[in-house]
Amino acid sequence: MDEIKIKGRAKVNLSLDVLRRKEDGYHEVKMIMHQVDLYDEILLKNIEQGILLETNCEYIPINEGNIAYKAAKLMMDEFGIKKGIQIYIDKKIPVAAGLAGGSTDAAAVMMGLNKLWKIGATKEELMKLSVELGADVPFCILGGAALAEGIGERLTPIEGINEWIVLCKPNISVSTASVYKNLDVNKIEKHPDTDQILMALENKNLQIVLENLCNVLEPVTERMHPIVRDIKRKMIEYHALGSLMSGSGPTVFGIYKDYNKAKSAYENLSKVYNQVYLVKTYDGRGFNDYQ
């Protein structure tokens, strides 16, 4: 096998809580992450030596500044691989959007190379190794839905939801670092009831999940970019059962049970915003990730 294609899926946060700022500058979090079926496609091809990265997206670097490049380098160094790899990223997930678009590409590269090069590392081993790349990468390797703790690397698989999701990213990019810099942990007005959401997911009680959607970074990003609040308002106006900003933003998602209402919301939002997507939640059990 000389090449492999793999999907790297986006995620949303059903909750995001920041518990404290650690001495090393990282923040301790407690959040519920859920993959959705919006994905980048990553094609990996063996070459003689080096790492050659190409993409259809002009906004992302094609050198060691790209987390997918770093992922390939990490796999080579960790497992003593002497051959090279050509990486092509067909980017569909918006960039700097709060959807883990970079992290999921890195995760896909690690999983794809593990298979392509017949390394035989377990998912757990890859997750542990991937923490070096970023806090969201282990979740993107795990997939499905999970409770994330620590800096995001301590993961517990959980029951997810099976609903339609409308994603809307305004034409701005948000720096995660700047959002966390502007967050005063001691002045967070409302923390999510994560345990309540977990219980509701376990009991398949969507209504309780919807009532408890909460992201402590949302007010911070809203102050910097009021458009986030406007999109949330529109999601509800377009019959979303619940709406929340994902990650540090600026992407806002709405949850829908009814496909026709979701489609109508998608069509209305698409008249105003360029990056709008209608997708399903993803439970991590797909068999079509590799081609």
User: Rounded to the nearest 10 degrees, what angle do helices 67-79 and 123-130 cross at?
Assistant: 120
Name the residue type at position 97. A
Q: What pLDDT does 289 receive?
A: 63
Q: What pLDDT does 21 receive?
A: 80
Kindly report, residue by residue over 215-231, the tens digit of the pLDDT. Answer: 999 999 999 999 999 99
Kindly report, residue by residue over 171-195, the tens digit of the pLDDT. Answer: 998 888 899 999 999 899 999 999 9
For residue 77, count CB atoms less than 10 angstroms from its CB and return exposed for 0-12, middle for 13-18, buried for 19 or more: exposed
Please state, rounded to an integer, the average pLDDT across all residues of the chain.
94
Characterise 135 by phi-psi region: left (phi > 0), alpha (psi -120 to 50), beta (else): alpha
**Residue of 17, 136, 232, 234 marked active site:** 136
Q: Is the pLDDT of residue 42 over 50?
A: yes
Cα 230 to Cα 204: distance, rounded to the nearest angstrom: 30
Kindly report, residue by residue over 234-279, the tens digit of the pLDDT. Answer: 999 999 999 999 999 999 999 999 999 999 999 999 999 999 999 9
Q: What pLDDT does 287 receive?
A: 43
The class level of CATH for 164-280 reads alpha beta
Q: What pLDDT does 70 receive?
A: 98
- Band of pLDDT at residue 91, cut at 50, 70 and 90: very high
CB 10 within 8 A of CB 100: yes
For residue 134, count CB atoms less than 10 angstroms from its CB and return exposed for 0-12, middle for 13-18, buried for 19 or more: buried
The structure's pTM equals 0.94
Residue 90, phi then psi, degrees to nearest 5: -90, 100
**Residue of 7, 11, 70, 234 marked active site:** 11
Percent of the chain exceeding pLDDT 90 equals 89
**What spatial distance separates the first Cα and last Cα of the chain, rounded to whole Å?**
11
Beta bridge partners of 52: 86
Cα 229 to Cα 10: distance, rounded to the nearest angstrom: 22
Q: What pLDDT does 26 receive?
A: 76
- Band of pLDDT at residue 25, cut at 50, 70 and 90: low
The arithmetic mean of pLDDT across residues 138-143, rounded, is 96
Kindly report, residue by residue over 51-60, the tens digit of the pLDDT. Answer: 999 999 988 9
The arithmetic mean of pLDDT across residues 119-141, rounded, is 95
Q: Is residue 136 annotated as a catalytic residue, yes or no?
A: yes
Q: Is the pLDDT of residue 290 over 70?
A: no
The 8 Å CB, 24+ separation contacts for 125-128 are 127/153, 127/155
Q: Is the pLDDT of residue 85 over 90?
A: yes
Q: What is the CATH number of domain 3-157?
A: 3.30.230.10
Q: What pLDDT does 81 receive?
A: 96
Which DSSP string corresponds to 2-17?
-EEEEEEEEEEEEEEE
Q: What pLDDT does 24 receive?
A: 73
| 3-state DSSP assignment of residue 117 | coil
Per-domain residue ranges for the chain?
3-157, 164-280
- The residues, ordered by sequence, that sit 6+ positions from 170 with a Cβ below 8 Å of its Cβ are 225, 227, 228, 231, 250, 273, 275
Q: Is residue 283 annotated as a catalytic residue, yes or no?
A: no
